[in-house]
Amino acid sequence: MEPVVGIGPVSRCTVDAALAVARRTRTPLMLIPSRRQVDAAEFGGGYLGWTTQEFADYVAERDPDGLTLLCRDHGGPWMHTAEAGVTEPTEALDSCMRSFTADLDAGFGLLHIDTSEGRPGTGPVPAQTAATRLVELYARCHAEATARGAEVAYEIGFEPQDVSTNDPDEFKAALRLVLEGIDAAGAPRPRYVVAQTGTKVAELRNVGRFHEPHARDETLRQVSTLAATCHQEGVLLKAHNCDYLTTEETALLLRAGVDAFNVAPEYGVAETRALLRVLDEMALTEAKEDFLRLAYDSGKWRKWMLDPTTATDVERAVIAGHYVFRTDEGLRIREEAALALATRGRPPLDAILQEAVAERIESALRAVTQAAGHTAQPADAPAAALTAEAVR
């Protein structure tokens, strides 16, 4: 059974919630850390406080049935802050290859190769440059995996997430060009291709075109065309930025042909809001103010903002909350909340926060079940057939 839902491990609580949901529902899930969340020791790990191997060991110990697939999300050059000072593309490619090698050594089963980023401050790279770099990295990853005897699948993406959908003709041409390069390198075709599906996260909502009721039907027609293109090439369509969608909205995307999808920042927001509720209920006013200040001062909300924005300072802090959970002050505040709960005979803080995140993960799984009940699989689409098996 193939997993359909990719869970961004924006916190350790999210990892625990995903493991708990997988066990409780006997449903395979993907855990998809970005390099900023988890990376090799040489890059200083990530903001979860784990190196790649530590993360893999943690999951393996708590997932004896192997229900969670470890996946690298947005692996590629300049995807970790440790590479901010790297200016030469060759050096950046070598650097991210060392990250991918650590993924292979840790037993990751899926590598997302994303070459859309240029060095900090320069924005996305041209499409042709992204495609060339992607094929090079893909071939190098395949060679490293072969040398290790590692079984690994691939996900490819060569452009940043946008609010709209890809132009179908341009997408078909770009995909074919990249797949021809991968074929020429003697590597297997990827399992997933990331396309623009009208889903985009900003602030505390989804601002993609799909989320606009007046544009939904046209967006779904475009998504269906993109999915058909992928399936004709024997690959699956992956949607990113599916946060803050309702169960029904996500099911519509799946019925349109999306084979798998990722959710990430929504889980950090769910945990942050649950923590703030606990601080309110325990009358820990000063601790709540400390946490909001800590999150706001981190500045981690900046990359998620709309321009212009009407977001309040509290909303900005909520957006950034999960980035500061593992800081010394963040841990102190959580300890204070946990002690207050224990003193009053309430459930443990970790259990409360984990259940808040688990509810959102289960909402995504309900969308998969709902879509499976309405999807008729075409006989000539092997990729779509695989998806049908995944959602049963």
**What's the confidence (pLDDT) of residue 158?**
81
SS3 206: strand
**What's the confidence (pLDDT) of residue 373?**
87
Helix (H) or strand (E) holding 178: helix 168-184
Q: Look up residue 162 and give its two tokens.
A: 């946008």
Q: Which amino acid does the sequence have at 296?
A: Y
**What's the confidence (pLDDT) of residue 202?**
98
CA distance 207 to 200: 5
**Domains, the chain, ranges and CATH?**
5-266+366-391 (3.20.20.70), 268-355 (no CATH)
Mean of per-residue pLDDT scores for the chain: 94
**What's the confidence (pLDDT) of residue 1?**
76
Percent composition of the chain: helix, strand, coil (DSSP 3-state, to 5): 55, 10, 35
Q: Is the pLDDT of residue 379 over 50?
A: no
Q: Is the pLDDT of residue 66 over 60?
A: yes
For residue 117, the cross-strand partners are 124
pLDDT in tens, 274-296: 999 999 999 999 999 999 999 99
CA distance 191 to 266: 25
**What's the confidence (pLDDT) of residue 23?**
97
Q: Could you tell me if 273 and 13 are in contact, meaning their C-beta atoms sit under 8 angstroms apart?
A: no
**What's the confidence (pLDDT) of residue 378?**
36
Q: Is the pLDDT of residue 53 over 90?
A: yes
Number of residues written out for the chain: 392
**What's the confidence (pLDDT) of residue 374?**
67
Q: Is the pLDDT of residue 387 over 50?
A: no
pLDDT in tens, 345-371: 999 999 999 999 999 999 999 999 999
Of the CA atoms within 13 Å of residue 221, those in its CB half-sphere come to: 4
Q: Look up residue 50 and give its two tokens.
A: 């784990």
3-state SS record for 286-299 = HHHHHHHHHHHHHC
**What's the confidence (pLDDT) of residue 268?**
98
Could you tell me the pLDDT band of residue 386, with boundaries at 50, 70 and 90?
Answer: very low
Q: Is the pLDDT of residue 383 over 50?
A: no
pLDDT in tens, 138-150: 999 999 999 999 9
Q: Is the pLDDT of residue 219 over 70?
A: yes
Lowest mean pLDDT segment, chosen from 200-214, 252-266, 367-381:
367-381
Q: Look up residue 89 and give its two tokens.
A: 């593309």
pLDDT in tens, 226-253: 999 999 999 999 999 999 999 999 999 9
pLDDT in tens, 159-207: 889 999 999 999 999 999 999 999 999 999 999 999 999 999 999 999 9
- Between helices 216-232 and 382-391, what is the axis angle to 10°? 110
Q: Is the pLDDT of residue 375 over 60?
A: no
Cis ω on the peptide bond leading into residue 160 (within 30° of 0)? no
**What's the confidence (pLDDT) of residue 391?**
28
Helix (H) or strand (E) holding 194: strand 192-194
pTM over 0.75: yes
